[in-house]
Every structure is written in structure tokens, then in C-alpha cells.
Amino acid sequence: MIFGLIVAALYALVFFTGDKSPTPKLGIDLQGGTRVTLTARTPDGSKPSQDSLRRAQEIIETRVNGLGVSGSEVVIDGDNLVITVPGDDSSQARTLGQTARLYIRPVQSSAVSSNAQAQAPKAETPAPAPAPQNRPFPAQEPGTPAPPTETPAPPADQGAATSDDQAAAEIAEAKKTRQSTDPAVQQQAMATLDCNASDPLQGNDDPALPLVACSTDGTTVYLLGPSIIDGQEIADASSAFNSQQSRNEVSLTFKSSGSTTWAQFTAANIGKQAAFTLDSKVVSAPVVQGATPAGSATSITGDFTSASAKELANTLKYGSLPLSFQASEAETVSATLGLASLQAGLIAGAIGLALVLLYCLIYYRMLGVLTALSLVLSGVMVYAIMVLLGRYIGFTLDLAGIAGLIIGIGMTADSFVVYFERIKDEIREGRSFRSAVPRGWARARRTILSGNAVSFIAAAVLYVLAVGQVRGFAFTLGLTTILDVVVVFLVTHPLVHLASKSDFWSKPSINGLGAVQQVARERKTAASARTSVGAQAKEA
């Protein structure tokens, strides 16, 4: 019953949540994908260092691969990063390089942009959220930009058309006005900045200088002070729904040095705004409502939806890249193996499973039926979990992952063999089928747990040390190892226990234990004979 409730809950999630697609996501080797080339940009137009590229590769790999099971790849190609993701949606791969230069700057002043004034009849100003109680960093004021929205990538040929010298000249010219320390120049830059135009300063602003920047929605222009915290000082960020306040919030924590700086800043700037800038644009500018003690989490609240809160949390969580990038090329990648390989792998697995079931039926008779039922139910649960993992953590099923599933299901059959052989041992000692089952289970479950623990540790070590498709293999192997324990404890043992109480299943011709019971009878007869001979010898 418990197992049935778990399966029912899983399939309810499959059919009534998310995109409701009842099929797992496939990896690059089976369905193909999209490859996007990210071209690095430096403030002076010079060649990026290999160390910076490697650091950017590590951060983007964490961002794109999540738990490392989405089958995505990030490689360094000369001065570029090449990202390959499953599926044909290039927008996902393009946005991976967006969270480049993230800084926290104090807001000195703000004004409605000229673009927003020109479109005033169509503009909507979000209503301010109520200030939270005991929250140091709460609601955004009217006019503060909403959480970040996707910025359209520049045309693919723009990087080719603009030389390095021209790009460096445009950046230098933008810095003269938008990063000037002259108040008059700053005010002129705020009045003339076009928030809809291409930004040559994107991700190349100097954090030690002031900055005139637009909000991501283009409605507000800010004059910001020098950076107080680099985005790499952010330890973690997450979104959640505050049921007491009935609103979505973003929780933010800093590393040790950033936490101390933030505590000092919030204590000295209560009632003022702090801007989170991403690639020279303001993604959020909340008001400081109270001092945040060092080491404590900060809460950002505002007119967030669940999706926008999660988007802002992800933007803050992954921190700064050491370089800025622009997507210069996108192309479709064909499947390296294709659906034919998937079908061949599934057919091979089905044949292997059928052979295992046939062996169990021949060797264990009707107990083999219980094995077949347990394996089928295990497969039903695995399928639902594959669909949900693809939906919620981006898991993609490739051929290596399918191999891990097949091996894991085979290990489940091993657990049945251990259990049934323990029952046979008890029957050889002269016990009935009914009394042998609980005793055999008490001995078998320790062996089953020990064997699965070793397999899970091996899968975990392989997952940590491996990369690419091997991680997918280790992930599915570890998952099916856990499900093996669930199936054996919640399905197989209860079914065998019920069978031991049934007169039909207790028949040797049905359960296949007649030969074992014959051995027990012969041992008992031999023992009785030895006892009789010993007694006669003693009398003599």
C-alpha cells in the first residue's frame, strides 16, 4: 500500500505539474542539441587570459549542468567558450554567459529614463510591497526595476564587424561620460543615456568608479557609487514563498569578507538603496530597512512572482564571471547516436530482463512471478522519476544513463536471489516455508543493505570524480540502487510474506521448494538414524 501511494504520487506529479509531458528528456547523443559560441570581451580589447577562461568555464559548467546530469558540455576553443546543450532551444545556451560582471553598488540618485517617459501611457509601475518585519533588506520602491529579464543577444555578425580597436574605443568613450567623477558630467549622462541602445560598456565598467546605468527593463536611470562588494563574494541565493507575508522572497548570504562589508554598509545606509548590477545594468535596487549582522542572511522582497524570484536568485547565486561574453554564433548539433541507438539499447535491456525473468521462473517457479512483478513495479517507478528529474533538475537520459538503469535493475534481481536463497537455507534446516520466510528475511536484509551500500558508494565516488556522460551513468546507477532497497522492502518481502501464509503458494510444486524440503527430510532421517545407532551402542 505504501509503495502504491508513492507510485500514485509520482504519476500525479508527472501528469498534473510542470509541462505535463510524460516522456523523459533525452541527451545530446540521442536527440541532438544546440551549440553556442561565446566570445570573450575585455575592457581594453586585449586577448583574454587562459586562467580567466578556465574560471569562466567552471562557473558556466556549474550553471548549465546543475547536478551534472543534464548532459551539457562547456569547452574552451581558443579565446571562446563553446556551450552545447540538449534540445533545439538556443536561448537557454545564450543566457548562460549573461551573468558576467556582478557588483553591488550604493545608489546615489535615480530618475525615470527618457525611454520610459516616451512610452508613459503604456508603462505600469508596480505597487510597493509592504515592508517586512525583522527583515533587513526588503521591499523595492516604486520605480525600482523588476527582477532581471533576458537581454536580447546582439546579432551574430556584430562581433565580426567591429574590430578590437573599435570596441576598445567605444568602451573608453562610454567610460568618460558614464563613469566620470564630475557631477555635471554625471547629470548629463543620466539625462542623455538611451536605455534601449546597445551598451558598449556592457560588463566592462570599472568597479572602482561611479556608474550611470539603466535598469534591465529600461524604465529607470541610476547614478551609482563605486562597488562595495563583488558578485563573487555571494555565497548562495535562493527563492522561497513566505507564507506569513504571502509573498515571494529571495534569500542571500555572503562569504566572510563580503558579509562583514555588507553588515557595515547596511548599518550606515538604512533607508537608502543598494543596486545589484549585472553587466552594467541594474537588476534590482531594494531599500535597506535595517542593519544585517555579519554572517546573517539577507532577504530581498518586492513585487516578485515565483518565476521572477527564482530568476533573480539564480542571477545572484552564480556570481560573477571573470570576463564578459557575447553570443557570436549558434548552430544545431545532430544526435551522435540517435533514436535508433536508444531503441537498440532498450531492446537489449528488454532481452536481458526477459532472460533474467525466464531463469527465475525455471529456478524459483512461482516465486519467480513475484520477482517479475517486483521488477515491473520498479521499472514503473523509475520511469516516473526520470520524467520528474528531467522536468525539475534538467536531467537528460543518454545511452550511458540507460546502461546505469539496466545494471541497477539487474542488481535488484540479485537482491531477490539473496532473499530466496536465505529462505532455502532455513528450509534445509527443517523449517516450513511459513516459518522460513521471517527468519530468512532477517538474515537476507543485512546482506542486501550491505551490498547496496557498497554499490551506492561506488556510484557516488564515480559521480564525484567523473565528467560528462559517465556522471549520468553513475547518477542512474546510484538512483536505482536506492530504489532496489525500496522495492525489496516495500514490495518483494511483503509479497513473499503473504505467499508463505497461503496454502496454494506453500505447495512445493508451486513454490519450487520441493527439492529443498526433500533435502531437509533426508537430513532429519539421517540425524534420527545416527541418534538411534548411538543409543543402541550406549545400551550395548
**Residues in contact with 318: Cβ distance below 8 Å, sequence separation at least 6, in sequence order:** 59, 62, 63, 99
Q: Is residue 392 part of a domain?
A: yes
Q: What is the mean pLDDT of residues 339-368?
A: 80
Question: Which residue has cell 538556443?
Answer: 90
Same domain assignment for residues 297 and 437: no
Residue 523 is predicted with a pLDDT of 72
Same domain assignment for residues 231 and 124: yes
Q: Is residue 216 part of a domain?
A: yes
Question: Which residue has cell 559560441?
Answer: 37
Whether 163 has a pLDDT exceeding 60, the answer reads no
Same domain assignment for residues 302 and 367: no
Q: What is the pLDDT of residues 366-414, one digit of tens each?
A: 788 888 888 888 889 989 999 998 888 778 888 888 888 888 877 778 8
Q: Is residue 15 part of a domain?
A: no
Q: Is residue 24 part of a domain?
A: no
Torsion of the alpha carbons at 158, 162, 164 and 166, rounded to the nearest 10: -130
- Range with lowest mean pLDDT among 95-104, 256-265, 293-302, 308-317: 95-104
Whether 140 has a pLDDT exceeding 80, the answer reads no
Same domain assignment for residues 328 and 347: no
In this predicted model, which residue has the larger pLDDT, 158 or 104?
104
Report the CATH number that the domain containing residue 87 is assigned in CATH: 3.30.70.3400
Report the CATH number that the domain containing residue 358 is assigned in CATH: 1.20.1640.10
Q: How many CB atoms lie within 10 A of CB 210?
A: 24
Same domain assignment for residues 245 and 392: no
Q: What pTM does this model have?
A: 0.58
Same domain assignment for residues 346 and 489: yes
Contact 43, 203 (CB under 8 A): no
Q: Is residue 462 part of a domain?
A: yes
Residue 465 is predicted with a pLDDT of 85
Domain enclosing residue 54, as ranges: 33-99+321-333
Choose one of 333, 357, 375: the last residue of a domain: 333
Choose one of 281, 306, 333: the last residue of a domain: 333
Q: Is residue 515 part of a domain?
A: yes
Q: Is residue 535 part of a domain?
A: no
Q: How many CB atoms lie within 10 A of CB 288?
A: 22
Choose one of 272, 300, 333: the last residue of a domain: 333
Distance CA 483, CA 10 (A): 14
Which cell goes with 108? Answer: 546615489
Question: In 3D, which of 165, 41, 151, 68 has the Cα closest to residue 389?
Answer: 68
The count of structural domains within the chain is: 3
Q: What is the mean pLDDT of residues 321-330?
A: 68
Contact 39, 328 (CB under 8 A): yes
- Range with lowest mean pLDDT among 229-238, 289-298, 320-329, 343-352: 320-329
Question: In 3D, which of 146, 125, 138 has the Cα closest to residue 216?
Answer: 146
| Average pLDDT value over all residues in the chain | 78
Q: What is the mean pLDDT of residues 48-52?
A: 82
Same domain assignment for residues 185 and 276: yes
Angle at 250 between CA 248 and CA 255, to 5 degrees: 165
Contact 38, 308 (CB under 8 A): no
Q: Is residue 112 part of a domain?
A: yes
Q: What is the mean pLDDT of residues 197-211?
A: 84
Residue 489 is predicted with a pLDDT of 93
Burial (CB < 10 A; 0-12, 13-18, 19+), residue 371, is: buried
Same domain assignment for residues 407 and 453: yes
Same domain assignment for residues 375 and 481: yes
Same domain assignment for residues 371 and 476: yes
Whether 130 has a pLDDT exceeding 60, the answer reads no
Q: What percent of the chain has pLDDT over 70?
A: 78
Distance CA 86, CA 89 (A): 8
Whether 319 has a pLDDT exceeding 50, the answer reads yes
Same domain assignment for residues 113 and 239: yes
Same domain assignment for residues 65 and 194: no
Q: What is the mean pLDDT of residues 306-331?
A: 72
Torsion of the alpha carbons at 241, 242, 244 and 247, rounded to the nearest 10: -70
Contact 292, 217 (CB under 8 A): no
